[in-house]
């Protein structure tokens, strides 16, 4: 079979059950494709050769026993973890094998993939463009069919945004749905592990596999994710006016509006809603996240493992300094405490909005993938590209990115946000949209 690697996870499982090909053939097909394409894309930092299991790619901030895990950082260039993250153990129970560790922004800090110490990942749709980040390699590997699915992590949009810019499905679950045990800490109260897949159905399946309490993550206390009952149910959809404000690329806006129209045609009720505190989200996010970062990075003091702190890249150093400052005596109340209050207001915005609607839709990213190097010297511009995704992390709610078209040949993703613990409805809406459109069939030509 020539197009084994084009199959979705569910199709792959079915094909294996029908013995259309063997696990060995499956692994070989992917391995050959990686060997051929990875040098162009730089999606993988580490490649494993397996002969069994279903090959998945794992973002390099997730601890894998015996497999080098660098977090895209020079600090951990030779770090081999002695333990598996919970998600890895859960996946191996499902006959999933790790085909490689994917490139990412250093310690998941960045929105373009360019902050990796091992060079940026290239966008499979245009090798001169960024993939988005920080789960750059995980999104590119799925888009280029270099794995069946991948795991990423999302602290401010790091799953949804690269999924959007690479034309694949990305799911950020509710904070606490999936155990973070083994996910290298970036901002502990924001970090979520989630799947990047070739279909919405795949994302639902992987979520089901990896979620549930493990006795290691105190914030992950629900036993398992609810099985999805209703399929293709269409909900009352809220469209926040704040997500269509200044800064949104007009061409992207048109694609998103067409997608919303499609949902309406499918029977959804569309209403305009407001998330009034959205304008403060970025400021609050860039106080609380660096604060947590500054503390989480403290263990990399060069004494027990890892190299000298001078080996941190500029973005990590910037966040350590910002966070250390924000937590300092005399500034804590003015910065951290105030930002935490804004965070509560943003949570309340969503709670209120969800009394009026079941899901919220809008763009994932205000633009399509930009040129490599375009924003690298302007951190603020880079931060602004997270504007549509960070609110979900501040509020801890789930969000899905589903391919919804193209602008100048580059993919655009539709963001579907849901209530806390209600991944079910956003997956239903996403799947209904996916099945009514053909975007899933589009593949990059590389």
Partner 1 sequence: MNYEPVIGLEVHVELNTKSKMFCRCSADYFGKEPNTHTCPVCLGLPGALPYINKAAIEACMKIGLALNCSINEVSRFERKNYFYPDLAKGYQISQYRWPLCINGYLILDNGQKIRINRVHQEEDTGKLTHRDSETLIDFNRSGVPLVEIVTEPDFRDVQSVRDYAKKLQQLFRYLGVSNADMERGDMRLEANVSVRLVGQEELPNYRVELKNINSFRFMAVAIEYEIKRQIGAIKAGEKLSQETRGWNADKKCTYLQRSKEEANDYRYFPEPDLPEMKVDRLQATVDSIKAKMPELPWEKKERFQKEFKLSISQTAILTESKELADFFEDTVKHGQGHDVNGVQVANHIINKKINIKEVLPTQVIEELRGKKVGIIEDERELEKLAKQAMEENQKSVEDYKSGKVVALQAIIGGVMKLSSGKADTSKLKSILERLLTYA
Tell me if 96 sits within 8 A of 78, measured CB to CB.
no
Of 258 and 324, which has the nearer Cβ to partner 1? 324
* Near partner 1 in 189-218, by CB under 8 A: 189, 215-218
Identify the three-state secondary structure at position 429: helix
Q: Of 275, 262, 297, which Cα lies nearest the Cα of 355?
A: 275
Among the residue ranges 183-191, 228-236, 264-272, 358-366, the one whose residues contact partner 1 (CB under 8 A): 183-191
Check if 274 is active-site: no
Catalytic residue, chosen from 97, 138, 158, 199, is 158
Of 19 and 304, which has the nearer Cβ to partner 1? 304
Of 267 and 298, which has the nearer Cβ to partner 1? 298
Q: Using the rule CB under 8 A, is 356 a contact of partner 1?
A: no
Sheet architecture: strand order including 54-59: 44-47, 96-102, 54-59, 149-154, 192-197, 169-172, 399-407, 410-418, 359-363, 236-240, 269-273
Check if 158 is active-site: yes
Q: Using the rule CB under 8 A, is 301 a contact of partner 1?
A: yes
Q: How far is the CB of 222 from partner 1 (least distance, A)?
A: 13
Q: Report H helices in 42-182.
A: 86-92, 136-143, 160-166
CA 13 to chain centre: 24
Among the residue ranges 30-38, 117-125, 178-186, 353-361, the one whose residues contact partner 1 (CB under 8 A): 178-186
Residue 230 burial (C-beta neighbours within 10 Å; 0-12, 13-18, 19+): exposed
Of 80 and 224, which has the nearer Cβ to partner 1? 80
Q: How far is the CB of 327 from partner 1 (least distance, A)?
A: 4
Q: Using the rule CB under 8 A, is 9 a contact of partner 1?
A: no
Of 64 and 368, which has the nearer Cβ to partner 1? 64
Task: Please state whether 113 falls in left (phi above 0), alpha (psi between -120 and 50) or beta.
Answer: left
Q: Using the rule CB under 8 A, is 82 a contact of partner 1?
A: yes
Q: Using the rule CB under 8 A, is 117 a contact of partner 1?
A: no
Name every residue whose Cβ is closer than 8 Å to that of residue 94 and which is 6 or more positions away in sequence. 54, 209
**What is the rounded CA–CA span in Å between residue 47 and residue 117?**
17
Residue 7 burial (C-beta neighbours within 10 Å; 0-12, 13-18, 19+): buried
**What is the rounded CA–CA span in Å between residue 189 and residue 323?**
14
Check if 6 is active-site: no
**What is the rounded CA–CA span in Å between residue 267 and residue 89?**
40
Alpha-carbon dihedral sign for residues 180, 182, 183, 185: positive
Among the residue ranges 33-41, 42-50, 81-89, 351-359, the one whose residues contact partner 1 (CB under 8 A): 81-89
Of 94 and 295, which has the nearer Cβ to partner 1? 295
Q: Using the rule CB under 8 A, is 188 a contact of partner 1?
A: yes
Tell me if 136 sits within 8 A of 105, measured CB to CB.
yes
Binds partner 1 by CB under 8 A, chosen from 81, 124, 363, 418: 81
Of 187 and 369, which has the nearer Cβ to partner 1? 187
Binds partner 1 by CB under 8 A, chosen from 16, 327, 376, 384: 327
CA 262 to chain centre: 25
Q: Other C-beta atoms within 10 Å of 51: how many?
A: 13
Q: Using the rule CB under 8 A, is 285 a contact of partner 1?
A: no
Q: How far is the CB of 81 from partner 1 (least distance, A)?
A: 7
Q: Using the rule CB under 8 A, is 298 a contact of partner 1?
A: yes
Binds partner 1 by CB under 8 A, chosen from 324, 367, 420, 435: 324
Name every residue whose Cβ is closer than 8 Å to that of residue 152 and which is 6 or more positions away in sequence. 59, 104, 135, 138, 139, 158, 159, 162, 163, 170, 193, 194, 195, 196
Among the residue ranges 166-174, 177-185, 224-232, 380-388, the one whose residues contact partner 1 (CB under 8 A): 177-185
The residues that touch partner 1, with contacts defined as CB under 8 A, are 61-63, 69, 71, 76, 79, 81-83, 85, 180-185, 187-189, 215-219, 291-292, 294-295, 297-301, 303-304, 324, 327-329, 332, 336
Q: Kindly list the catalytic residues.
A: 59, 134, 158
């Amino acid at each position: 079979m020539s197009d084994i690697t084009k199959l979705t996870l569910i199709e792959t499982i079915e094909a294996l059950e029908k013995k259309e090909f063997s696990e060995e053939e499956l692994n070989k097909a992917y391995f050959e494709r990686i060997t051929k394409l990875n040098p162009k894309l730089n999606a993988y930092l580490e490649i494993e050769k397996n002969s069994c299991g279903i090959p998945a790619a794992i973002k390099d901030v997730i601890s894998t026993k015996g497999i080098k895990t660098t977090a895209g950082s020079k600090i951990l260039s030779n770090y081999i973890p002695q333990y598996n993250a919970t998600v890895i153990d859960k996946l191996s129970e499902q006959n999933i094998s790790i085909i490689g560790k994917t490139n990412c922004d250093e310690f998941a800090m960045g929105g373009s993939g360019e902050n990796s110490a091992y060079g940026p990942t290239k966008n499979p749709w245009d090798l001169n463009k960024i993939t988005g980040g920080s789960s750059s390699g995980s999104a590119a590997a799925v888009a280029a069919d270099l794995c069946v699915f991948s795991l990423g992590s999302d602290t401010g949009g790091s799953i949804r945004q690269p999924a959007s810019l690479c034309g694949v499905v990305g799911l950020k679950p509710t904070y606490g749905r999936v155990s973070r045990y083994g996910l290298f800490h970036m901002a502990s109260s924001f970090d979520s592990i989630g799947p990047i897949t070739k279909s919405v159905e795949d994302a639902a399946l992987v979520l089901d596999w990896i979620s549930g309490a493990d006795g290691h993550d105190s914030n992950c206390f629900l036993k398992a994710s609810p099985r999805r009952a209703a399929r293709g149910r269409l909900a009352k959809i809220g469209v926040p006016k704040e997500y269509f404000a200044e800064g949104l690329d007009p061409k992207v806006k048109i694609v998103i509006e067409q997608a919303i129209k499609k949902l309406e045609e499918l029977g959804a009720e569309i209403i305009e809603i407001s998330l009034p505190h959205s304008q403060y989200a970025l400021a609050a996010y860039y106080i609380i996240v660096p604060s947590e970062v500054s503390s989480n990075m403290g263990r990399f003091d060069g004494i027990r493992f890892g190299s000298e702190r001078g080996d941190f890249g500029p973005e990590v150093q910037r966040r350590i300094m910002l966070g250390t400052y924000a937590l300092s005596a005399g500034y804590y109340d003015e910065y951290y405490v105030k930002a935490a209050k804004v965070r509560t207001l943003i949570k309340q915005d969503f709670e209120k909005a969800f009394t009026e609607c079941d899901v919220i839709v809008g763009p994932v990213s205000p633009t399509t993938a930009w040129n490599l190097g375009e924003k690298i010297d302007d951190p603020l511009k880079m931060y602004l590209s997270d504007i549509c995704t960070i609110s979900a992390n501040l509020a801890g709610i789930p969000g899905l990115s589903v391919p919804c078209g193209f602008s100048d040949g580059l993919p655009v993703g539709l963001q579907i946000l849901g209530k806390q613990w209600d991944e079910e409805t956003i997956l239903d809406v996403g799947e209904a949209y996916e099945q009514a459109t053909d975007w899933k069939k589009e593949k990059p030509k590389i």
